[in-house]
Amino acid sequence: MVVAGDVFDHHHPSADATRVVYHGLQGLAEAGLEVLVIAGNHDNPRRWDAVRPLLGAHRVHVVPSFRLPDEGGRLVLRGDDGTECEFHALPWIPQRDLVNGDVLMSLLGRAHQQYAHRMEQLIGQISVQPEDRERPQVLVAHLFYAGSAIGGGERTLTAGVTYQVPTAGIPDLLGYAALGHLHRAQRVPGAAPDTYYSGSPLQLDFSEAGQDKSVYLVELEAGVRPRVEALPLDAGRPLLEIAGTIDELAELRKGAGEAWVSVRLRCRRAEPGLADQVREVVPDAVRVVLEPQHTTAPRQRVSVRGLAPREQFARYLQESDGLEPHAALLDRFDELLNEVDAKEPDGAPA
């Protein structure tokens, strides 16, 4: 069982969350599986590292941070039938670990390039050192490949230009690349060999409402293309989005089942207590977002902030009188303002 990162949602998970994960891992191990876990960007590598020996004793192999192949970055796991498979682990690497400080401080474009470039090099390096070429080689990585589809619940920064890695970097030697990070289950287009994101087991964000969640079952054989089958998952509460007026909601809600609901309410305008009314009809409404029908076009506000004082004054006169002020009047305003400014002591705050 390969878990390609993001086991927990953030660095300090609660005791309940920890219990779920450890019991889950234990269950997998007791079912006879060898479990490989790498750390993702949401995980706390030091906590994983602290518990790694204990888990390792129970057939749960954790790679919390980047290791060279001979120092724990490459694992060989044996299946029930005795076949061995080599796994090259590439946990999440933060930008500052790959990009020099001065490059970071300079143009951002260079930082992105350097990160992408070095990631390519790393991938290339670690995966051309197989211990035994007879074994199937698998890359397990937590990263963001350019061109993949974002599920919607990812942290924008980590699924953007800063961290994207070009797909051309995966060497042919590998049989399969098991990727974590993106929530949508997908095959990465334009990448060879077979490169898959397994996606999240649950719908985590309303943008994933309606997405089918699955886990990939992969058969590997050295020298042969793997067979990949998607097994659907339907545990947990799905997410549902409905939209309509408050009267239509009751109807729309039918068939929601256990789903957490996000309501887009069409109404004339915002009123206090509207959310409570909606929750009376839809008790599982996690959020109620308004879609007012008669949206007055947002007041085209030219920010006065950016205007020169002369223009600010002109706007003020226009608002109070309704008339366009004369240029001569504004000239006088400028003249007096210059006189006042000329007397300013040094160092007045801007």
Residues in contact with another protein by the rule CB under 8 A: 9-14, 44, 46, 94, 96, 108, 155-157, 162, 265, 270-272, 274-276, 278, 286-290, 301, 303-306, 308-309, 312-313, 315-317, 319-320, 328-329, 332-333, 336-337, 339-341, 344, 346-350
Q: How far is the CB of 304 from another protein (least distance, A)?
A: 4
Which pair of structure tokens corresponds to residue 266?
Answer: 């069409």
Q: Label the pairing between strands 144-145 and 35-38.
A: unpaired
Contact 75, 36 (CB under 8 A): yes
User: Which candidate, 15, 72, 86, 76, places its Cα nearest to that of 39?
Assistant: 72
Q: Closer to another protein by CB, 57 or 323: give it.
A: 323
Q: How far is the CB of 267 from another protein (least distance, A)?
A: 8
Q: How far is the CB of 308 from another protein (least distance, A)?
A: 7
| Residue 98, C-beta contacts closer than 8 angstroms, at least 6 positions apart | 114, 115, 118, 119
Q: How far is the CB of 301 from another protein (least distance, A)?
A: 6
3-state secondary structure (DSSP) of residue 153: coil
Q: Closer to another protein by CB, 172 or 335: give it.
A: 335
| Residue 87, C-beta contacts closer than 8 angstroms, at least 6 positions apart | 2, 36, 74, 75, 76, 77, 138, 139, 140
Q: How far is the CB of 101 from another protein (least distance, A)?
A: 8
Q: Closer to another protein by CB, 77 or 314: give it.
A: 314
Q: Closer to another protein by CB, 14 or 83: give it.
A: 14
Q: How far is the CB of 249 from another protein (least distance, A)?
A: 12
Q: Closer to another protein by CB, 224 or 329: give it.
A: 329
What distance in Å separates the CA atoms of residue 72 and residue 90, rounded to the nearest whole number?
11
Angle between helices 327-342 and 309-321 (to 10 degrees): 140
Q: Closer to another protein by CB, 158 or 198: give it.
A: 158
**Cis peptide preceding 166, ω within 30 of 0:** no
Q: Closer to another protein by CB, 133 or 155: give it.
A: 155
Contact 222, 136 (CB under 8 A): yes
Q: How far is the CB of 211 from another protein (least distance, A)?
A: 19
What distance in Å separates the CA atoms of residue 84 and residue 241, rounded to the nearest whole number?
45
